[in-house]
Amino acid sequence: MNSLMVKALAFSATLMIATVVIVKYMNIDLSDPVNIITLLGAAAVAFLTFGVSAKYINQMKTDKSTGELADESWDGIGEYKNELPAGWAYSFLGTIIWGVWYWLAGYPLNAFSQIGQYNEEVKAYNTKFEAAFANPDQATLKAMGESVFLVQCAPCHGETGDGMSGKAHDFTSRISKDQVLAVIKNGSNQLGYPMGAMPPMLAQGADAEAIAAYVAGGMQGTAPAAFATCAGCHGADGKGNNGAAPNIAGYDETLISNVLTHGKKGAIGVMPSFKTRLTPVQEKALATYIQTIKG
Amino acid sequence: MFHWLEKNPFFFAVGVFLVIAFAGVIEILPSFAEASRPVVGLKPYTVLELAGKNIYKNENCITCHSQLIRPFKSETDRYGQVSLSGEYAYDRPFLWGSRRIGPDLHRVGNYRSTDWHENHMMDPKSVVPQSIMPAYPYMFTKMADIDTAYAEALTVKKVFATPYDAPNGTKLGTLEESRAAALEEAKVIAADMKNKEVKDAVARGEIPQIVALIAYLNRLK
């Protein structure tokens, strides 16, 4: 050990002492491992910097040049024919081998895929969702239905579901007089019920008016005689014969699900299909929530 | 060999160029091949849709609306399927946008309808009470520029070989033909609208901006 090494060690020791003094002075909390690690890192940097530079400065001072010179002479400056340092040579070789592996197998077989990551995210979420809502009770369904409604339905039907003064279907009642008249006039074959298409013009004039007033009024009191035509498919109570035809007395799960799947073009405008945008549980929740919307 | 290279800087430079160029080529070429293909079934915009797209650009809708659905469940739940590069093949320029002050519009045609757009463009707050979007009532009276849209379609057909007039594709034809086709499309849209001025204009053979814009928005699926 010569004087240079001693000076270097002394200097790094001074730096470390200065660090410790600063730590004490600033009341740094050493129970936090991050601060300990930082302190140790500072010490290591000081020690390595001065240790390594001292070693090489020393070598420059004392080393004698030996070995065979290469043929070239660059303006009088020669170059020794040195072997590559072993560590350097092996890492170079290793990099080449790794490069070939990465090009042929590493990247093509293990590449990151955005869509793959997305698919995994969706799959994990769906599994969690199914487990959490395997047997939802009414309160859970209603809460879920309300949140689905606010995101997917409210932009057209309004946050309260009132259709925003005729801009979309009004959920506070089942159906309006204009809507009934439009369906009687144009018929309907949009919702995919087993009963199939409803032909246009099954009732006309005063009969149609009477039916519309009766249905829009919530089917209270005695049915007009012309309603018998409707009852053939929709049932005398208007509930659609257990899902054979649309329920015109109220909202049920079949109706909500069919409208969501097929969309609807009616007296007010067009509702696009929401097929595949909601899970079956969400559709059921939506039906539960819509049944609770009352004027 | 390396001593020889060190003595001949020109060939050394050529060698360096070849090595770097090779690395570049194998990295860059595959993405070019992948990106330039339109998705199956994609058709070029009709002239009316292009006129609507020009209004979209003109009004700077891109400042607040993006057209790019990223692969996150939260986004696909709200906006629909992830956007693919091939879906923008006939967008010149594409309107990805970089801000979402309003919602993404890349698939707005799947979940909004003509009548909704009509209400919304006239007065956004009437359908979305919290909306900060400005109203665009003048679109109901100003007419769309069909001729410019035709010129644009013809240009991309001739310069970029966009497949107009292909079998089962979008028909372009002559200026008169495309004016007539745009009017036919506009009539279908106006039939679903309630505004009387718009209906009258279309009946007269004119196409208000709102009709072209709705044609474009309905096309975004």
User: pLDDT tens digits, residue range B155-178?
Assistant: 999 998 889 998 888 999 899 999
**Domain assignment present for B42:** no
Strands of B29-184 (E only): list them. none
The per-residue pLDDT for B34 is 63
Per-domain residue ranges for chain A?
Answer: 3-62, 86-124, 126-292
**Domain assignment present for B40:** no
A77 phi and psi angles, rounded to 5 deg: -100, 125
Q: Average pLDDT over chain A, rounded to whole?
A: 87
CATH value at residue B131: 1.10.760.10
A vs B, Cβ pairs < 8 A, gives: 55
* A198, A188 contact by CB (below 8 A): yes
Q: Tell me which of A24-38, A133-147, B91-105 is least confident.
A: A24-38
Same domain (yes/no): B14, B75: no
Number of structural domains found in chain B: 2
Mean pLDDT, residues A247-269 taken together: 88
Q: Is B219 helix (H, G, I), strand (E, B) or coil?
A: helix
Which residues does B142 contact at the CB level (< 8 Å), separation at least 6?
Answer: B208, B209
Q: Is the pLDDT of residue B18 over 60?
A: yes
Residue B23: how many other CB atoms lie within 10 Å: 10
Residue that the structure tokens 């699926």 belong to: B221
Q: Is the pLDDT of residue A267 over 90?
A: no
Q: Is the pLDDT of residue B71 over 60?
A: yes
Instruction: Note down the domain range covering B8.
Output: 2-35
Same domain (yes/no): B202, B128: yes
The pLDDT > 70 percentage for chain A reads 99
Task: Write the CA distances from B164 to A193, B103, B161, integer angstroms.
Answer: 40, 31, 8
Q: Is A272 helix (H, G, I), strand (E, B) or coil?
A: coil
pTM for the model = 0.75
Mean pLDDT, residues A252-256 taken together: 89
Same domain (yes/no): B149, B213: yes
Query: Among A13-22, A45-54, A165-174, B95-104, which range has the highest average pLDDT?
Result: B95-104
Determine, for residues B114 and A270 on separate chains, whether the beta-carbon distance falls below 8 Å: yes
Confidence band of A221 (pLDDT split at 50, 70, 90): confident
Mean pLDDT, residues B84-103 taken together: 91
Same domain (yes/no): B130, B22: no
The per-residue pLDDT for B95 is 94
The per-residue pLDDT for B65 is 96
* A9, A50 contact by CB (below 8 A): yes
Q: Is the pLDDT of residue A219 over 90?
A: no
Same domain (yes/no): B9, B56: no
Confidence band of A80 (pLDDT split at 50, 70, 90): confident
Mean pLDDT, residues B102-123 taken together: 93
Q: Is the pLDDT of residue B2 over 80?
A: no
Q: Give contacts of B119 with chain A, Cβ < 8 Å.
A: 167
Same domain (yes/no): B84, B149: yes
Q: Are strands A270-271 and A264-265 parallel, antiparallel or unpaired?
A: antiparallel
Burial of residue A122 (CB within 10 Å: 0-12, 13-18, 19+) is: middle
* B220, B117 contact by CB (below 8 A): no
Mean pLDDT, residues B108-131 taken together: 91
Confidence band of B35 (pLDDT split at 50, 70, 90): low
Half-sphere CA count of A96, side-chain side, radius 13 A? 5
Determine, for residues A121 and B72 on separate chains, whether the beta-carbon distance falls below 8 Å: yes
Which chain A residue lies closest to B125 (C-alpha atoms)? A155
**Alpha carbon A184 to its chain's center:** 43
**Domain assignment present for B60:** yes
Provide the ipTM: 0.74
DSSP state of B87: G
**Domain assignment present for B41:** no
Mean pLDDT, residues A168-186 taken together: 89
Residues of B with CB under 8 A from a CB of A: 3, 6, 71-73, 76-78, 80, 82, 110-116, 119, 126-129, 192
Q: Is the pLDDT of residue A110 over 90?
A: no
